[in-house]
Amino acid sequence: MSFALTWLPEVLLGAGLKVAEQPGWRDRGRAQMGKVEGVMCHFTNGPAQGNMPTLRVLIEGRSDLPGPLSQLGLGRDGTFYVIAAGKCNHAGIGEWQGITTGNTSFIGIEAENTGSEPWPDVQMDAYRRGVAAILNFAELPASRCCGHREYAKPKGRKDDPDFDMDDFRGQVDAIMAGRGVVRAIIPKRDETGRPTQRRGSVGFLVRQIQVQLGEVADGLFGPATEAAVRRYQRASDLVPDGIVGPKTWAALDRDALAARREAPSADLQTLLTIAGQSQIARYDWNNRGRAPLGYVKGVAIMFARLHARLASGDPIAKAIASKAGTPAKDALGWYADVFRSVGMVNEIDGPDTLRHVFVLLLGLGMRESSGRFCEGRDRSANNTKAETAEAGVFQTSFDLIGADPLLSTIFTAYRRMPPQLKSVFAEGVRPKPDELQNFGDGDGRDFQELCKNSPAFAVELAALGLRRQRKHWGPINTLAAEVRPEADALFRDIADAIDRNPDLRSAVLNGRSP
Ligand SMILES: [Zn+2]
């Protein structure tokens, strides 16, 4: 049988809101609701990524609390997800205006928010209008809308939502009375006449956005592009609504200009040409064949950056370029015999040792991922936790970070930047959709995404990781990662080019890197 609140979608649609009915919602509930006496506002305290990442939890519940956890979810883009028509576990013990039967009497709305991020206008506007529509339908005053934190007892048991509820009720009241303030709608075009781009947009402007954000440039503004726009907005201190309007266009323009200024393409091209024409680019790796061109080029650019940074005294570069240490921790120490057999010496700090780290790194990436920047977790293992799921060209996982505070420094720095070198690494590689999946949530999940989305991060992290915790990598432990003289020759050529040409050196240094 279906439960009583089957009117929810119609009432919300009638208020001009976006509605997504979830399969089975009419029959979902702990029991029948009592008479509706009000609406209770919550936030999910959920993950930062996505429009409504908590949806499944709201439907299914948690280990300590069976679902459904609310009748409605409210996504960051203002869509109402209709979850249940019956009673839900959202209120707990408390009181609002003499009513103590929270779950029986209040409709719960869980709005997606981490609890510490700004609320997108589009979401808050929908929140107010949705509550107003429900209260109007139930013939209740705006005072019957409460925040979970206002209802919950003992006081302080709940802190959601974090916005001013009196102000919220005032605006709900105004909407109910027909004098609501209509939200400032994102303009259809920016000052230069460029149309606002959002989910469903197609064409060359979408492609331009995708290229700049390092996404697959198919010209279709779908969920992946929207997610990339949100990430970018968050990193740029913009409201993460996933819509490219005038403010986001302006930020993208500013960054594109900065990127052009920072990495003169002619100089970068010199290095890419050296890498593309190198012997190692044609080398036939054991059981792997040739490397994707983008892999050789991308690692070469990263070597160039670290080589230039080493000369400037950069602490991360210095740590990577330090002489071989204990075999238990340091891959160079562990690989001492192999290096010796090909005449590469790692007994002193400096550029030679740095080069040899990159030689080993190049061999490691071929073993781990065949040089594919987008490689997801190892499906033959059972590493589905955020901390242990492998990601990216060197198949690193978040638990590596603890081996040195500088590894966290690298993570934090790249997290703040737009994707680095993805377009370079993408040459000759076609990502598969399931590779882009990440596991778990929080920092560990973000780490996986960053490894694949910002291959420069994966390189720098692995370069230092090799020096601190070589046991992180099976092919290092078994000496299966190849050490090739042709790779050393490539990095020598790159170093020579930079050392001979101060313009090239400063261009490399000014490329975005910590
Ligand atoms: Zn709550």
Q: List the CATH number of the domain containing 253.
A: 1.10.101
Tens place of pLDDT per residue across the chain (514 aa): 679 999 999 999 888 888 999 999 999 999 999 999 999 999 999 998 889 999 999 999 999 999 999 999 999 999 999 999 999 999 999 999 999 999 999 999 999 999 988 899 899 999 999 999 999 999 999 999 999 999 999 999 999 999 999 999 999 999 998 876 655 567 788 888 899 998 889 998 999 998 888 788 899 998 889 888 988 887 777 877 788 999 999 999 887 776 665 454 567 788 998 999 999 999 999 999 999 999 999 999 999 999 999 998 999 999 999 999 999 999 999 999 999 999 999 999 999 999 999 999 999 999 999 999 988 887 777 777 888 888 999 999 999 999 999 999 999 999 888 888 988 898 888 877 778 788 888 899 999 999 999 999 999 999 999 999 999 999 999 999 999 999 999 999 999 999 998 888 888 887 643 2
Give residues with Cβ within 8 angstroms of 166, minimum separation 6. Answer: none
Q: 43 alpha carbon to ligand 1 midpoint, in Å? A: 6
In a domain? residue 92: yes
Is-contact 130 80, C-beta < 8 A?
yes
In a domain? residue 75: yes
Residue 268 has what pLDDT? 78
Q: 239 alpha carbon to ligand 1 midpoint, in Å? A: 23
* Same-domain status, 328 and 370: yes
* Same-domain status, 401 and 315: yes
Q: 155 alpha carbon to ligand 1 midpoint, in Å? A: 13
Q: 95 alpha carbon to ligand 1 midpoint, in Å? A: 14
Place of tokens 């004098």: 179
Residue 514 has what pLDDT? 26
* Same-domain status, 212 and 97: no
Q: 42 alpha carbon to ligand 1 midpoint, in Å? A: 4
* Torsion sign across C-alpha atoms 350, 263, 270, 421: positive
Q: Looking at residue 79, what DSSP letter applies?
A: E
In a domain? residue 194: no
Q: What is the pTM of this model?
A: 0.53
Q: 110 alpha carbon to ligand 1 midpoint, in Å? A: 7
Q: 332 alpha carbon to ligand 1 midpoint, in Å? A: 52
Domain C-terminal end among 159, 176, 193: 176
Q: Looking at residue 289, what DSSP letter applies?
A: B
Is-contact 42 160, C-beta < 8 A?
yes
Residue 264 has what pLDDT? 45
DSSP string, 398-449: GGGGGG-HHHHHHHHHHHTSPP-SHHHHTTT----GGGG---SSTHHHHHHH
* Same-domain status, 248 and 291: no
Enter the tokens of residue 436: 């882009």
Q: 72 alpha carbon to ligand 1 midpoint, in Å? A: 12
* Same-domain status, 35 and 171: yes
Q: 135 alpha carbon to ligand 1 midpoint, in Å? A: 19
Q: 436 alpha carbon to ligand 1 midpoint, in Å? A: 32
* Same-domain status, 311 and 209: no
Q: 235 alpha carbon to ligand 1 midpoint, in Å? A: 27
* Same-domain status, 52 and 71: yes
Tell me how far apart the alpha carbons of residues 331 and 99 are, in angstroms, rounded to a whole number.
Answer: 65
Residue 257 has what pLDDT? 75
Q: 114 alpha carbon to ligand 1 midpoint, in Å? A: 12
Q: 39 alpha carbon to ligand 1 midpoint, in Å? A: 12
What is the span of the domain harbouring residue 89? 8-176
Other Cβ atoms less than 10 A from the Cβ of 498: the count is: 24
Q: 367 alpha carbon to ligand 1 midpoint, in Å? A: 48
Q: 112 alpha carbon to ligand 1 midpoint, in Å? A: 11
Q: 127 alpha carbon to ligand 1 midpoint, in Å? A: 15
CA 114 to the chain's CA centroid:
14
Q: 165 alpha carbon to ligand 1 midpoint, in Å? A: 14
Q: 101 alpha carbon to ligand 1 midpoint, in Å? A: 15
Query: What residues does 195 pair with on adjacent strands?
Result: 189
Residue 116 has what pLDDT? 87
* Same-domain status, 235 and 363: no
* Same-domain status, 51 and 143: yes
Q: 158 alpha carbon to ligand 1 midpoint, in Å? A: 7
* Same-domain status, 209 and 337: no
In a domain? residue 254: yes
What is the total count of domains within the chain? 3
Residue 391: closest CA among 415, 370, 366, 373: 373
Q: 242 alpha carbon to ligand 1 midpoint, in Å? A: 25
* Same-domain status, 276 and 243: no
Q: Give the pairing of strands 38-43 and 145-147.
A: parallel
In a domain? residue 187: no
Q: 94 alpha carbon to ligand 1 midpoint, in Å? A: 12
